[in-house]
Structure 1
Amino acid sequence: MRTTTGNERRRAFSLVAALSVLLLAIALAVLITARPGSAPSSSPSGASMSPSPNSPAVTPSHSPAPPPSFPTETETPEAGQTPVQPTATLPPVPFPEPPESTAPPPTDPFPSSLRGQDLTVLPGGAHVVALTFDAGANAAGLPKILSALADKGVPGTFFLTGNWAETNPGGVRQIVAAGHRVANHSMTHPGFTGLPDQLIAQQVLGAEQAILDAGADPAPYFRFPYGERDARTIAAINNLGYVAVRWTVDTLGWKGTSGGISTQTVTERVLAGLQPGEIVLMHMGSNPDDGSTLDADALPGIIERIRAQGYGFVILDALLGG
């Protein structure tokens, strides 16, 4: 039996080591060939690797990161912050068509048949007389007039200017308390045909307010100062809610004794014009020259003489059926 030497053992060990390395290399080659799509590993340091100039561009296989989100109504804001409400686009809301008015159109506070007129008699043909008293100066005749009307149980209609109502609020209250009717005679008693519509409105509505402030309502009766009127001025006061009331007879008592008038003259004029619906014009104040109050003085006798003719007495509300 041959004995192995040291050199032989070293050669055998080297041969085994070489075969082991060769087998390991073959195994690695087989493993790499079995995984053709594997990517190279990243740098262990985590640093980015710059591609070489000849390397093809690499398209990332993952989706880009989503944009940052904004608060919605379901998120809770931090303390002290106002929640951010989402913006919503709403469809336009159509405005409904206004319903057709079922209310009747405005009407005059007097019968339409009285429009455009300056009444000289009460319509209807009844045997009645309306005693009317204009007040634009002073109130000297008022006590006698109110006394005569009360004694005879007769109603009267008093056309007051706004100035008179402001100066004599106590007189207005006495007239109303006695059950008489108050009407409008303008604010300052100017002629109306020379006034523009705007000043007519100021005169009529100014007097109305002054009389209302004194405790009476003058609507809807108006008498033109001096009886001065035309179609335009009548239409203007109609449009302000008033019907124009003139007179059948003027007693002319306002002229006074200095003007050649007496109580007998006053009485005879009223009786001469007596007719169904007669409207009698008298005045409350005294004559500025002689201080006479002829209408107030003649009133008791006038009432007796009219009644003796079978007539009664009404206020102007008879025009409205009252």
Structure 2
Amino acid sequence: MNNGRASGVAPASRRNERRQVAAVVVVAAMAVLAVGLTLLITAEPQGVPGALTTTSAKSTPTATADSVSPTPSASTVSPEPDESPSVGPEPGESETGGPPVAALPEALLGRDLEELPGAGNVVALTFDAGANSAALASILSTLTAEQVKATFFLTGSWVQANSGSVDRILADGHRLGNHSMSHPGFTQLTDAQITEEIRGAEAAILAAGGDPRPFFRFPFGERDSRVIATVNRLGYVAVRWSVDTLGWKGTSGGVTEETVLRRVVDGLRPGAIILMHIGSNPEDGTTLDADALPGIIKEIKTAGYGFVTLDQLLVA
């Protein structure tokens, strides 16, 4: 009997204990839930920095002028090179502060002219100056005596080394042209280097009292479509020649005064551009172009031709 009662009491006691434990667990869970709800209500939304926050895992660093390169825009992106010929400065503008630049005739662009288009029975005598001035006095004297005007292509270095020569050429009524600053081969130069060569010579000639624009002659006659277009963009017409006398080769190069004369006579045609040089041959000191010039002018006149400067190219 006693064992039966003891057995009946023990299960009831254990049930009460379990109820008490369950109640405690429920209370604790509710307390935890209440705390969590309180934190959720009072906390700031995730990802939004507080008033004193300067950075976060998702925020973007503040850019500064010293640390961040500007985004390319229309003002910072270099334009693609323009392969089409352009006349360069607009009429009336001058990048060097000299006299205004006239617009170039469209028909003269993109070419290295070898003759005067549609000029009729006239020729142009042209003289390059890049070495010394050994024959300048003789050439100017002959041109004056024969009442002939010519065009002189000068390098900037020649102008700087021959003070007063520009005045002498201009005083006799002759025309000037640009032959670069230091006489390099242009096809090996960048566009920037070409600009430096042309603008350097232009500045030297302007400073000496002359103006070479808009005529340019390539050193050594080296050119291609790119450099011609670059010259045009700088406001110049590229002018080559119809006849090279080869007087610059001198007697050491197998040339004589007679061969210089014959080359000109044989190459005569309407609008011909004749190339000669001012300097002496560096090996033998000869000045064959100057020596042959009186005979050249006589033969040209006898053949019925007159003489013009390269300004004839600009005649509409």
TM-score range, shorter chain: 0.5 to 0.7
Unaligned 5+ segments in structure 1 are 1-104
Partner-residue secondary structure (3-state), 1:304? helix
Correspondence 1:179 to 2:158 = no
Give yes or no for contact 2:119–2:312 (8 Å, CA) kept in 1.
no
**Residue 194 of structure 2: which of 191, 200, 203 is its match?**
200
Query: 1:269 matched to which residue of 2?
Result: 263
- Give TM-score, length-normalised by structure 2: 0.68
Unaligned 5+ segments in structure 2 are 1-88, 92-101
Query: 1:155 matched to which residue of 2?
Result: 149
**Residue 90 of structure 2: which of 89, 106, 111 is its match?**
106
> 1:40-63: CA deviations, max 9, x gaps?
xxxxxxxxxxxxxxxxxxxxxxxx
Structure 1 distance, partners of 2:115, 2:152, is 17
Structure 1 distance, partners of 2:142, 2:104, is 30
Partner-residue secondary structure (3-state), 2:187? coil
**Residue 111 of structure 2: which of 98, 113, 117 is its match?**
117
Letter in 1 for 2:141: S
Find the structure with the greater CA-based Rg: 1
Give yes or no for contact 2:121–2:270 (8 Å, CA) kept in 1.
yes
Structure 1 distance, partners of 2:135, 2:116, is 26
Correspondence 1:299 to 2:293 = yes
How far does residue 169 in structure 1 lie from its aligned partner after superposition?
2.5
Give yes or no for contact 1:109–1:220 (8 Å, CA) kept in 2.
no
Structure 1 distance, partners of 2:119, 2:301, is 17
Give yes or no for contact 1:109–1:242 (8 Å, CA) kept in 2.
no
How far does residue 125 in structure 1 lie from its aligned partner after superposition?
4.1
Correspondence 1:139 to 2:133 = yes
Structure that is richer in helix per residue: 2
Query: 1:84 matched to which residue of 2?
Result: none
Letter in 2 for 1:264: E
Structure 2 distance, partners of 1:147, 1:222, is 25
- Give TM-score, length-normalised by structure 1: 0.67
Letter in 2 for 1:217: D
Superposition map of 1:277-316 within 5 A: 277-316=271-310
Query: 2:57 matched to which residue of 1?
Result: none
Structure 1 distance, partners of 2:273, 2:143, is 16
Instruction: Between 286-295 and 164-173, report the one with greater CA deviation.
Output: 164-173
Q: How many residues align?
A: 218
Partner-residue secondary structure (3-state), 1:169? coil
Letter in 1 for 2:171: A
> 1:16-35: CA deviations, max 9, x gaps?
xxxxxxxxxxxxxxxxxxxx
Structure 1 distance, partners of 2:300, 2:313, is 20
How far does residue 133 in structure 1 lie from its aligned partner after superposition?
0.1
Structure 1 distance, partners of 2:103, 2:126, is 20
Query: 2:183 matched to which residue of 1?
Result: 189
